[in-house]
Structure 1
């Protein structure tokens, strides 16, 4: 087995960010809605799972074909080389989805794909009766879109946003993948100061610290494909060694996370410790209006409350006004704010240099970007 085709799934609006990460690992990409497709050696499975900060998961593409009848789905599925990936004892549950396709019944599609794969594996592995399914996990998905069936195996297991460091969170936590994207969509460099004045459980500040020290986001977790027989354990060892070699643990950082809620600051501190960042990030309980900035050419990156409940509207307005008033006094700082609050620019007191539509979960938001006027010589 040589190259494989992989799909890195992405939240809407983040496809280009994920594509840049894949390119930085050395692979050529093709971007589609919600995904980045690329052809790569098998070693890319460990590397991409370890390194991609903004992708939701990595899927292995087994095949794609047109299917408007259940017979077509069964026969075309059976023709695919499942035995190359799934051993005799492999578990292979099948999930599915169908959009704008003749085959609307997802449970029926799942059963047919499962039966077809089982028949192929029995034939290839010489199993007379039922497949044992007692070994490693190979989660298969059949996704139908406009009558095109795409069959994949999930290589990640738990979604890639689960870094393994979050021991606590607030009411509406920002996904780690989105937090990393917010940092990567700025020009922040590790030698610039960075403040998140609405830090909550600390995700943006923690992801920034991981980026700043070039620590692979998947370094402290497991992946379902670590148990797969066709990926030699040597490839995983090499991927983890590469991650260790590329980490810059000596890179100094100036990152502060602050929040009005002392409980959230306690949670953020614990999460940072769990991420192995120790005291690399400073945590402070304070209101936005008490924000004190002493350096030049810094970055504010934040995901403040959106004021979606009527009772919160006035508080949120004041929050944005306070931030705008403070940042007017620091023109060398760049400000990046993610919010669904439509009057943000009005309350902040300035129109954004640039706006980008992003989805925070199912909430449509804007990422307001204000570029600082850099002080020469800095």
Structure 2
């Protein structure tokens, strides 16, 4: 059996690593997705509950390349056996996520695909409100994937994000930034530009083995499927593994409003007790921390024209050089990477690695810096 994890473009490698860690699957990355094998439907449920890098988790029915999409979809569905998913009296809906330039839209895909399925399976009903199964169509340029959505909602939309900064990161991208930084579950981590606390919260989930969908147990689409799983025991088997993390996570900002946002969001998420919150100016970091005491600095620094950017970035890297361990790393995500690199260079930092990621249509770059003497 094969599964499909839909991700933000650019974080596919991170998602593949996480899926391997969670369910031991062999993974193959595609554009904006990861295809993986699995032995039990329980594995898909695990990923829905815990996989921080995925937007969607699907049972992958199949995939195809297309020229004429609707002709290709009709032929594809006609060759499938969907009876095991749609038993007696089951109703279904079709959803679509589409990336690329096409001469059709997602609503048309949903409508026509439902029509093709109904033609292939008589006496069934498509219902966009009262449904038991979701067929999900994922289109990336000229490639189409069809699967069964096991979560039933967008996993990248974090329910804890109530108090939001205008330039808030997606939870999935914040998680990818954390993993690219090399953050260890027993390390010391600082985000000095907390905004709404997303980076610290995602690190808190990861360090404590805290399922980020802990408070959404009753929302999953897979609960409607007959899989012979005792879901109370299923969720309990992971919840009992939640632990107080060994990591020290510091979430700072110079504005009290954003410290307050961060603390409130973390409380909603259930990880506030695992994070140290404080209003701290950049200039105070060398007072708050000893020299060479921080393992990783992970942050989404400001990128607004209204701020004195040169002053902020110079101070950030000046302070980082002092408090970061000699083998420590700084992971930054930014839409102005050249500006960031220019200021890092001034303070004895060099690029260790970098990669492009997309938040919707917005191109961002993750840059990991190390001290030049390492």
The answer to whether TM tops 0.5 is yes
Per-residue deviation, residues 266-292 of structure 1 (Å, max 9, x unmatched): 111111111222432111112212223
Q: 2:153 aligns with which of 153, 158, 166?
A: 158
> What residue number does 1:31 align with?
29
Q: TM-score scaled by structure 2?
A: 0.85
| Deviation at residue 197 of structure 1 after TM alignment | 0.2
Tell me which structure has the larger Cα radius of gyration: 1
Q: 1:175 aligns with which of 170, 178, 183?
A: 170
Are positions 1:78 and 2:78 aligned together? Answer: yes
Residue 163 of structure 1 contacts residue 176 of structure 1 at CA under 8 Å; is this kept in 2?
A: yes
Residue 6 of structure 1 contacts residue 58 of structure 1 at CA under 8 Å; is this kept in 2?
A: yes
Give the 3-state SS of the residue equivalent to 2:2 in structure 1: strand
| Deviation at residue 65 of structure 1 after TM alignment | 4.0
| Deviation at residue 193 of structure 1 after TM alignment | 1.7
Residue 350 of structure 2 contacts residue 371 of structure 2 at CA under 8 Å; is this kept in 1?
A: no
> What residue number does 1:8 align with?
5
Gaps of 5+ in 2: none
Are positions 1:327 and 2:327 aligned together? Answer: no
Residue 96 of structure 1 contacts residue 109 of structure 1 at CA under 8 Å; is this kept in 2?
A: no
| Deviation at residue 186 of structure 1 after TM alignment | 2.2
Give the 3-state SS of the residue equivalent to 1:13 in structure 2: coil
Question: d(CA) in 2 for partners of 1:258 and 1:72?
Answer: 52
Per-residue deviation, residues 168-227 of structure 1 (Å, max 9, x unmatched): 111111111111111111222233221100001111111111111111222222443233
Q: 1:276 aligns with which of 263, 270, 280?
A: 270
Residue 3 of structure 2 contacts residue 58 of structure 2 at CA under 8 Å; is this kept in 1?
A: yes
Relative to 1, partners in 2 of residues 1:10 and 1:133: Cα closer, same or farther, differing over 3 Å? closer
Q: TM-score scaled by structure 1?
A: 0.84
Residue 185 of structure 2 contacts residue 246 of structure 2 at CA under 8 Å; is this kept in 1?
A: yes
> What residue number does 2:91 align with?
90
Of the structure 1 ranges 140-149 and 218-227, higher mean CA displacement relative to structure 2 is found in: 140-149
Question: d(CA) in 1 for partners of 2:161 and 2:175?
Answer: 14
Relative to 1, partners in 2 of residues 1:347 and 1:43: Cα closer, same or farther, differing over 3 Å? same
> What residue number does 1:255 align with?
249
| Deviation at residue 133 of structure 1 after TM alignment | 6.8
Are positions 1:198 and 2:193 aligned together? Answer: yes
Per-residue deviation, residues 54-92 of structure 1 (Å, max 9, x unmatched): 121112222334654755532431332222113423231
Question: d(CA) in 1 for partners of 2:186 and 2:16?
Answer: 25
RMSD between aligned alpha carbons?
2.9
Q: Paired residues, what number?
A: 360
Question: d(CA) in 1 for partners of 2:276 and 2:106?
Answer: 49
Question: d(CA) in 1 for partners of 2:320 and 2:269?
Answer: 30
| Deviation at residue 330 of structure 1 after TM alignment | 3.4
> What residue number does 2:341 align with?
345
Give the structure with the higher percent strand. Answer: 2
